[in-house]
Amino acid sequence: MSSRLDDATRAALPPTVVAWLDPDVARDRLVAAGIPARQVRRTYVRLKPDLDAILQFDLDVDGSAEPIAAYVLVLPVARAAEVATKMNSIATPSPALGPGARLLASGDAVLFLFPNDRQLRGLRFVAEPDKLKRLLGTLPAFAGLRVRASHSTFTPVRWKPERRFLLRASLALKDDASGTKSGADVFVRFFADDRGARIERTATMLRAAGLDDVVPEPLGALDDGRLFVERTWSGERAQDAVLDGRGDPHALADALARVHATTVDLPRATAIVTHLATLAEEWEPALRIDADLRGLVTPLLDRLRADAPRSVLQATVHGDLHLQQILERDGRVGLVDWECAARGDPLFDLGWFVAQRDAAPLRDQAAIDRIHHYVDAVVATYRTRASWFDAARLAFWTKLCGTSLALLPFRRLEPDWRATVRARLAALAALAAPKR
């Protein structure tokens, strides 16, 4: 990630955040803290509502063949000291680098070395194979079986500091009583709260309702519901298939229509009025930095309030549908990550899916054309499968979701965020709502 922000953005952000955006400054500060970093690569940044930040780094460190993952939590000085004091009592030291959590000399930032995480308590038990195998061995699905860590592989997929950790594992299992050996490919998801238990419940209900070919098999939730394990749905990522010209939009439309026609006991989705209020709040930090954006955002929000459906069909929705959550195999589709599943408007799923397409950071025109063609074909096929389809509701949700996604370049502090945000907002404003 580049650190070349425009002067106005740098002036509006807290200096404590701006300093960490410069890789040379970040490296110097880490070296001063005793981290022998040769190079520092920022992989993620998340501005918090009060304009403090979480920044994630890969550190090339002397003596380590692989980069070491870390994140820096930028806070007011008093709060940073409080967090560091609390974490020092529970953090796991890094064998090569010392304390796993430490207050940095600047006094306004706390460094966390993987697997230490302020919110994901116990991450070290999930990230270390010997400890994870003991956890997985307690799953009812593996009753009577032993997880053989030395013959299993554990591959981290994603660590989103203070939110979640994903890991893929190919487990070697053995029944010591009979000597029989077997295997299982699983996904492990670790959260800061009990949403793992909620995902297990959702997946179990959906599979029992006839979606066992679409929803991965849940194997259980552990650690008070924070750790969720599911059997891997073997297939190719839809995005890869689409970009290669092999995506099957009809299979996805069929699967999605089946999901929406399935009735299970899920919590109600966020109300539209709450969506709109949250959206207005989320835009405020960007509007404080670039007041001219208000002339684009305010009319969009006003239009959304005016176009909001007065009544909404309640159906099972996935809640976070995009190409990374879709797998394809032999004409079948699997949908993964049911963390946001709820009872809501089924056209929210489709609107989020379309908005994700328009927000995708693709620069190759051929790739853009293929994804647009695929998404358009999904919508066209879904329309023939779903008696509840309504073009005006789809347009509303596409615009609402697009307005949310248009904020991402700012949250990531992309160097050209102003131009990117303006272009996305202008495209959303140009979307005409179909007549009801």
CATH of the domain at 413: 3.90.1200.10
Same domain, 246 and 300: yes
Q: Is residue 304 part of a domain?
A: yes
Same domain, 292 and 404: yes
Same domain, 245 and 214: no
User: Which of 240, 233, 162 shows the shortest CA–CA distance to 203?
Assistant: 233
| Boundary-marking domain end, from 113, 143, 170 | 113
Q: Is residue 346 part of a domain?
A: yes
Same domain, 248 and 220: no
Q: Are 196 and 225 spatial neighbours (Cβ–Cβ below 8 Å)?
A: yes
Cα gap 73→251, rounded to integer Å: 43
Same domain, 395 and 379: yes
pLDDT on residue 5:
79
Q: Is residue 86 part of a domain?
A: yes
- Secondary structure of the chain as H, E, C letters: CCCCCCHHHHHHCCHHHHHHHCHHHHHHHHHHCCCCEEEEEEEEEEECCCCCEEEEEEEEECCCCCCEEEEEEECCHHHHHHHHHHHHCCCCCECCCECCEEECCCCCEEEEECCCCCCCCCHHHHHCHHHHHHHHCCCHHHCCCEECHHHCEEEEEEEECCCEEEEEEEEEEEECCCCEEEEEEEEEEEECCCHHHHHHHHHHHHHHHHHCCCCCCEEEEECCCCEEEEECCCCEEHHHHHHCCCCCHHHHHHHHHHHHCCCCCCCECCCHHHHHHHHHHHHHHHHHHCHHHHHHHHHHHHHHHHHCCCCCCCEEECCCCCHHHEEEECCEEEECCCCCCEEECHHHHHHHHHHHHHHCCCCCHHHHHHHHHHHHHHHHHHHHHCCCCCHHHHHHHHHHHHHHHCCHHHHCCCCCHHHHHHHHHHHHHCCCCCCC
Q: Is residue 434 part of a domain?
A: no
Q: Is residue 2 part of a domain?
A: no
Same domain, 322 and 349: yes
CATH of the domain at 136: 3.30.200
pLDDT on residue 208:
98
pLDDT on residue 14:
84
| Boundary-marking domain end, from 113, 148, 163 | 113
Q: Are 323 and 237 spatial neighbours (Cβ–Cβ below 8 Å)?
A: yes
pLDDT on residue 50:
66
Same domain, 157 and 279: no
Cα gap 302→281, rounded to integer Å: 14
> What is the residue range of 146's domain?
123-231
Cis bond upstream, residue 115 (ω within 30): yes
Same domain, 44 and 94: yes
Same domain, 75 and 216: no
Q: Is residue 392 part of a domain?
A: yes
| Boundary-marking domain end, from 53, 87, 113 | 113
Same domain, 263 and 404: yes
pLDDT on residue 350:
97
pLDDT tens digits in sequence order for the chain, 436 residues long: 455 778 888 888 888 888 898 889 999 999 999 999 999 999 988 887 666 899 999 999 988 888 999 999 999 999 999 999 999 888 888 767 888 999 999 899 999 999 999 999 899 889 998 899 999 999 999 999 999 988 999 999 999 999 999 999 999 999 999 999 999 999 999 999 999 999 999 999 999 999 999 999 999 999 999 999 999 999 999 999 999 999 999 999 999 999 999 999 999 999 999 999 999 999 998 998 999 999 999 999 999 999 999 888 899 999 999 999 999 999 999 999 999 999 999 999 999 999 998 777 667 888 889 999 999 999 999 999 999 999 999 999 999 999 999 999 998 888 889 999 999 999 999 885 555 5
Same domain, 161 and 252: no
Length of the chain in residues, anyone?
436
Number of domains in the chain: 3
Same domain, 240 and 199: no
